[in-house]
Amino acid sequence: MPERNVVIIGGGLVGSLTACYFAKRGWQVDLYEKRPGKQFCLPTWLSIRSINLAISERGFSALRRLDPTLEKRVKALVIPMHGRMIHSLDGTQTSQAYDVFGKAINSVGRSTLIRVLLDEASQYKNVRMHFNHEFQQADFDAGRADSDLIVGADGAYSRVRQRLMAKVMLNYSQTYIEHGYCEFSMPPRNGDFAISPSHLHIWPRQSFMLIALPNQDKSFTVTLFDQLKTGQDAVEFFRANFPDALDLMGADKVASEYMVNPKGSLMYVKCTPYTYKNRAVVIGDAAHAMVPFYGQGMNCGFEDIEELDKIMLSVARDGMSDDQILRALDTYSSKRTKDASAIVDLALDNYVEMRAKVIDYAYLARKHLEGL
């Protein structure tokens, strides 16, 4: 069987893990990332995305399948959050455990995780990384000499997906929600975390909310999800709605961060199929961007590559013929489009859960009775 080549577009969270998976299978990997080299990992380059994110068992499973030591190394960098802490307007805090057996979701720095995955990919001799290279377009049928397969891991606004749309009858939808987000920081207090580090903190206010996730440096990244208005007096808004958070963050910091920090919009993408013949596939946000309220966008992208790897292995243990690649991609697309579409919907539903239902005690009592 000939040696296989794959071109991966996008060296973000999902693209870098994808590079590792193909390299481990013995493929020659060329990874193209539009951002410039090492600077790419610095938070400023990522400023419009969250500073930290939650990695769950779904994500760990994909790391473990690639290499159990990678999972261990990433686990050493996370802060487990065993439950959510609900902050009422009067300052009362109520802890709600995620799991009776103590399972947790885990806060990890986005730039830390990307760095680990890019370093991991660069350990493979058969991976070539090309930073400062922006994919514009490709003729998927023509590029044979360069690659057998193109993987689009180029995020929510994927160009690879756009090219797929020109080739196949691809159903596609992109929907913006009316709320956006802005990130703030809560510094440590007396050298320690200002609030419990083993919780994901939520200030649910029915139609909007504030959340906070812990960082290794004992600070918290605090995110406001709302219909953000320019010229809004952030301090007054915090004083009226999140007075305890304002005390811990400091009025000056809230005012300046609201002014300076970028305001992100939130949207979700669905498309089907994910593939073109045996030549191209989209993965991660390129295939199924989702709103962040379920904390599953990256986790689901990691699961994509784990699933694809399992399917490829079930089709051929060693080298793959063109037909076998086609069979693997077809199976992947038909299975994964359904699963990912369900997670996109769950993520949307969870916004109402987080900003309103967590304080609806009748709802909580009902959920408790359902569980008995």
Q: Which residue has the tokens 């990332």?
A: 33
User: Per CB under 6 A, which of residues 270..289 are in contact with ligand FAD?
Assistant: 284-286
Between 326 and 348, name the residue whose CB sits nearer to ligand FAD.
348
In the list 7, 31, 50, 147, the residue contacting ligand FAD (rule: CB under 6 A) is: 50
Rounded Cα distance between 17 and 10, Å, is 11
Residue 334, φ and ψ in degrees, nearest 5 = -70, -35
Q: Which of 109, 204, 273, 292 binds ligand FAD (CB under 6 A)?
A: 292
Q: Which residues pair with 268 in a beta bridge?
A: 175
Cα angle 102, 105, 107 (rounded to 5 degrees) comes to 130
Among 221, 275, 299, 331, binds ligand FAD (CB under 6 A): 299
| Residue in 118, 129, 295, 328 binding ligand FAD, rule: CB under 6 A | 295
**Both structure tokens of 247:** 């005390």
For the chain, give me the number of helices (H) and strands (E)? Answer: 12, 16
The contact mask relative to ligand FAD for 53-82 (x = CB under 6 A, - = no) is: xx----------------------------
- Distance in Å, CB of 264 to ligand FAD, minimum: 6
**DSSP state at residue 82:** -
Tokens of 18: 């994808």
Q: Give the single-character DSSP code of 12.
A: S
Site string for ligand FAD, 17-46 (x = CB under 6 A): ---------------xxxx-----------
Shortest spacing between CB 146 and ligand FAD, in angstroms = 15
Concatenate the DSSP letters of all residues of 18-43 into one string: HHHHHHHTT-EEEEE-SS-TGGGGSG
175-214 footprint of ligand FAD as x/- string (CB under 6 A): ------x---------------------------------
C-alpha distances out from residue 91 to 13, 213, 221, Å: 36, 18, 19
Choice between 184 and 315, CB closer to ligand FAD: 184
Q: Interface residues with ligand FAD (CB under 6 A)?
A: 9-15, 32-35, 49-50, 53-54, 134-135, 153-155, 159, 181, 264, 284-286, 292, 295-299, 301
